[in-house]
Structure 1
Amino acid sequence: MSLRRPLRPAAPPPPVAGRPPDPGGLTRRQVLLGSLAAAGGVATIGALGGCSPAAVAAGGARPLSYWHLLSGGDGVVMAGLVEDANTLGHGYEATQTVLAWGAPYYTKLAMASVGGRAPDVAVMHASRVAGYAPGGLLDPWDLDLLADVGVQEGDFLERVWQKGTLDGDVYSIALDSHPFVLMYNTDVASQAGALGPDGKLVPIEDPETFLEVARAMQGVTGGHGVAYGYLGDGAQMWRLFYTFYKQHGAEFDLSGDRAKVDVDAAVSSLEYIQRMLDGTVATPNGDYGTAVSEFASAEAGMFLTGVWELPTMKAAGFGLDAQPIPTLFGTPAAYADSHAFTLPHQSNPDPEQRRAAYEFVADLLKNSLPWAEAGHIPAFQPVIESDDYAQLTPQANYAPAAEILNYDPEAWFTGSGSDFQNYFLETVQNVYLQGADPREGFEAFVRRIDVQLAKPNPV
């Protein structure tokens, strides 16, 4: 099966922390998109071709409003996907509105739904849906209408599809999975004797082997074996911790009025992270930007990061490969989230307008190969199963991470861009940074969560 079609040039890598992007090679449209989103503003990107939405509507195509929070390289790729979808002649003309990532986006989306000004389609992180759907801020998808436009449950991995389901209704359709993965420098790995005969990283199946491989790579780089930054960054802290926690086969249940957790699994995970942050395997006090720079400059042989960093590392020009994070504690698992399409609530949606929105989402899903080229793992399995995807490296090598992904524990206050990961930062950072007692730090985190569980969902 082939999905090859003309592709626009690869998106530029996102800037290194603290340095503005180089606009060279970008169009004025792309620079405007990135700068407005980075500044926390709103960028509305209309269709190409010189047609206003009103003129297009007069010609039979329905104008669609589409909100998302994708900026930088992701925003450029998404703009291309939308422009391509608009040329397919499926009865719509979509206009993008790009808002600042995180709390500003989710606040504005909630206000738009409550105030009767909701867009036709909006992207949310799948981990945030549980906080929005119960309050009536999202409308469920009509599965029969989805099937009419060529999208059905069987086109997705079960755990990805189920994440969008709540009380029997489907509230989000995933565009992708973006898990935490292990990238590695093949040149460093080869010199360290850590490449197998197949040219891939040697099998790593237990905690000690991972540390041994990392130390061997440090002997080559002279810096560290693993690039990992967390300082002041609750998201980075949580992503690695939750990966190891779930590899213990442990549950993290927030469905009641008190958190149900496995303290022993949490302590074991945190103690192992402390062993990693020894100054040889990984720096004990690095932030995210330091880790990106360290791996890009071959001062570390491996990199614990999200798939979104792939464009940056491919641009660095060294031998690069990637894989799911090795299973160190018995159960294959990786932290992940998904960008997912939602229908913000409308009191009296026009049936033909809604159908146009379904057509638009179906077209983005079916033509998401460029999204894979930017690093994300497409959720629409016909893309993953295509010959074109199989030829993408290292994307095809880490695609199995989508089969072992774990979203945030489900509660109204969890998910990407929420305060949940900040609570982890506030209570556990000293465990990472100063070697504080893991049990005390984790139990403080659980107490903080229990405070939130005692509160009603504000939306």
Structure 2
Amino acid sequence: MSSAPLASRPDGAWGPSPDESPGIGRRRLFRYGAAGATALLAAGPLAGCASPAGSQGPSSLKVWDLFQGGDGMLMDEMIAAVSQGADGFHVDRTILDWGPSYYTKLAMSAAGGRASDVAVMHLSRLAGYAPGGLLDPFDLDLLAEFGVTEKDFAPAVWKRAQHAGTVYAIPLDVHPFIVFYDKDVAGKAGLLDPSGRLAPMGSPEALLEAGQQLAKVTGHSGILFGHVTDTAQSWRQFLALYAQTGASFTLPDGGPPKIDVEAAVKVVTFMKQLFDGRTNPNNLDYNGAMAAFMDGRGGMIMAGEWELPTFRKSGIKNLGAAPFPQIFDRPAVYADSHSFVLPHQDDPDPARRREAHRYVAEIIKQSLTWASAGHIPAYLPVQARPEYAKLDPQSSYAAAAEIAVLDPPNWFAGAGGNFQNRMCQPLQSALLGNTSAEKAVRQMVREADTLLRQPNPVA
């Protein structure tokens, strides 16, 4: 089977140049070129939706996000909670489709003087926006006044909320790439600790053995992973394992990429061993892996925590979850974070900007509601609440937030971007048996170098 182009998500997302000057005028709109305009038009009209307790109007706090479906309803619930009482917010919420078009609209709204008061951004995309002046920094003293400070977040996440030492994002959650498993199957396979949770693996050999034992119990497969034609899955798995080796994946502007080739080859070699096409299938797409796990044809699946609602609806009776297994030297999981940002405004009204800070502070305090969908609350006081400890299996992988590893901080990287797609293509080819680990890594390095040498399209 030949390596097919990846097309399960849109690609081609972009952000501002790291050396763009902070000042933004309407003339900047023309610098986004035909690609940006096309993306804006192709995305269709904005989907406006006011919160249940909110009201539209000049005094309403304008908020943009990309939460639809179940997440959208949870955000409605959270907004309703902070909109009650005499000091409640009036929120004019606009929901946009997830993908590159969302980030195109966010950039163009800031550049064109039509920015919302608050917006949601994947933390992995911050490097494409903060350096170019498309975001305004948060006032930490003002946040502290509303009960939110640096100590309320895991250092791994707080560090990525900054650019050049300045905080441009306040994380709502951490959403890691983890493992889900059938507790009954895992128990029969001897993989649970005395508390009934997945025992630590500790080595590549242990994870390979776990797959074999799970396959014996299910009579089908051990560990499932959907990667074929997907634009992110293989990269998520690779980066988690690569970070566990202790090696860095650094992409300095202009190149060349600083990648430990030996460590990368070691990781891809293991990925090929794990998904051998026998014990653990190597040719599943995303939906195929999901279906196989829900049908009991595999004891474990590597997937994002955001799939928790889907697995619950499927009727799996004894669902367990755990951080991505540590098999190399240091604990690490791939993750991202939905975060709140302040899109740039040339002359923000001080009272509205104060309300924006208060809104962000109050919403993240409501993230126990958000956790019901599987997301880890980034605000540590919520994690410390007894109600969160009782959430199963959410609380069992909460530690993943402390060891989160995000995409490299480059303008072309991050959620929905083309970088993940271009990394996934050689990894997919290797897992399908069409190329060696060495050749796959060489192609990854070449792809990274090519991206580093390309001019920022909006610089």
List per-residue Cα deviations over 1:255-276 (Å, max 9, x = no partner): 2421100001111111111112
In the alignment, is the contact (CA less than 8 A) between 1:225 and 1:280 conserved in 2? no
List per-residue Cα deviations over 1:298-352 (Å, max 9, x = no partner): 2110111111011111223320111111211111011000000000000000000
Show the 5 A alignment for 1:32-181: 42-48=46-52, 52-54=55-57, 62-90=59-87, 92-181=89-178
Q: What corresponds to 1:13 in structure 2? A: none
AA at the equivalent of 2:451: Q
In the alignment, is the contact (CA less than 8 A) between 1:41 and 1:100 conserved in 2? no
- Distance in 1, Cα, partners of 2:205 & 2:119: 44
- Distance in 2, Cα, partners of 1:344 & 1:431: 40
- Distance in 2, Cα, partners of 1:88 & 1:157: 31
Show the 5 A alignment for 1:342-353: 342-353=341-352
- Distance in 2, Cα, partners of 1:302 & 1:88: 46
Q: What corresponds to 2:452 in structure 1? A: 453
In the alignment, is the contact (CA less than 8 A) between 1:215 and 1:280 conserved in 2? no
- Distance in 1, Cα, partners of 2:186 & 2:250: 39
Alignment RMSD (CA, Å): 1.6
Q: What corresponds to 1:193 in structure 2? A: 190
AA at the equivalent of 2:368: L
| Structure 2 residue 269 is matched with structure 1 residue 283 | no
Show the 5 A alignment for 1:187-226: 187-226=184-223
- Distance in 1, Cα, partners of 2:299 & 2:416: 30
- Distance in 1, Cα, partners of 2:405 & 2:117: 29
List per-residue Cα deviations over 1:177-212 (Å, max 9, x = no partner): 001111110111122232333212233111111111
- Distance in 2, Cα, partners of 1:408 & 1:143: 25
- Distance in 2, Cα, partners of 1:280 & 1:386: 43
List per-residue Cα deviations over 1:26-56 (Å, max 9, x = no partner): xxxxxxxxxxxxx97632111335x7423xx
AA at the equivalent of 1:178: H
In the alignment, is the contact (CA less than 8 A) between 1:43 and 1:97 conserved in 2? yes
- Distance in 2, Cα, partners of 1:72 & 1:41: 18
| Structure 2 residue 394 is matched with structure 1 residue 395 | yes
| Structure 2 residue 320 is matched with structure 1 residue 327 | no
Q: What corresponds to 1:35 in structure 2? A: none
List per-residue Cα deviations over 1:147-171 (Å, max 9, x = no partner): 1111111111111111011112111
- Distance in 2, Cα, partners of 1:173 & 1:98: 19
AA at the equivalent of 1:426: Q
In the alignment, is the contact (CA less than 8 A) between 1:46 and 1:96 conserved in 2? yes
The equivalent position to 1:292 in structure 2, one of 290, 300, 317, is 290
- Distance in 2, Cα, partners of 1:359 & 1:319: 40
Q: CA deviation at 1:443?
A: 1.3
List per-residue Cα deviations over 1:76-131 (Å, max 9, x = no partner): 21121112221244353112111111100000110100010000000000010001
In the alignment, is the contact (CA less than 8 A) between 1:274 and 1:435 conserved in 2? no
Other structure's SS at 1:133 match: coil
C-alpha distance 168-328 of structure 1, shift in aligned 2 (>3 A): same
Other structure's SS at 2:176 match: strand
Which range moved further: 199-208 or 246-255?
Answer: 199-208
Other structure's SS at 2:387 match: helix
Q: What corresponds to 2:306 in structure 1? A: 308
Other structure's SS at 1:420 match: helix
| Structure 2 residue 428 is matched with structure 1 residue 424 | no
Q: What corresponds to 2:260 in structure 1? A: 262
- Distance in 2, Cα, partners of 1:181 & 1:112: 35
TM-score normalised by length of structure 2: 0.87
Q: CA deviation at 1:290?
A: 1.0
Which range moved further: 427-436 or 389-398?
Answer: 427-436
Q: What corresponds to 1:245 in structure 2? A: 242
AA at the equivalent of 1:250: A
| Structure 2 residue 414 is matched with structure 1 residue 440 | no
C-alpha distance 52-378 of structure 1, shift in aligned 2 (>3 A): closer
- Distance in 1, Cα, partners of 2:279 & 2:370: 32
In the alignment, is the contact (CA less than 8 A) between 2:226 and 2:284 conserved in 1? yes
Q: What corresponds to 2:228 in structure 1? A: 231
AA at the equivalent of 2:264: A
- Distance in 1, Cα, partners of 2:244 & 2:384: 27
AA at the equivalent of 2:445: V
- Which segments of 5 or more consecutive residues in structure 1 lack a partner in the other structure? 1-16, 18-38
- Which segments of 5 or more consecutive residues in structure 2 lack a partner in the other structure? 1-7, 9-42
Other structure's SS at 2:340 match: strand
Show the 5 A alignment for 1:360-375: 360-375=359-374
- Distance in 1, Cα, partners of 2:310 & 2:427: 29
AA at the equivalent of 2:50: G
- Distance in 2, Cα, partners of 1:382 & 1:194: 32
Q: CA deviation at 1:354?
A: 0.6
AA at the equivalent of 2:306: W
In the alignment, is the contact (CA less than 8 A) between 2:55 and 2:92 conserved in 1? no
Other structure's SS at 1:234 match: coil
Other structure's SS at 1:326 match: coil
- Distance in 2, Cα, partners of 1:182 & 1:421: 20
Q: What corresponds to 2:339 in structure 1? A: 340
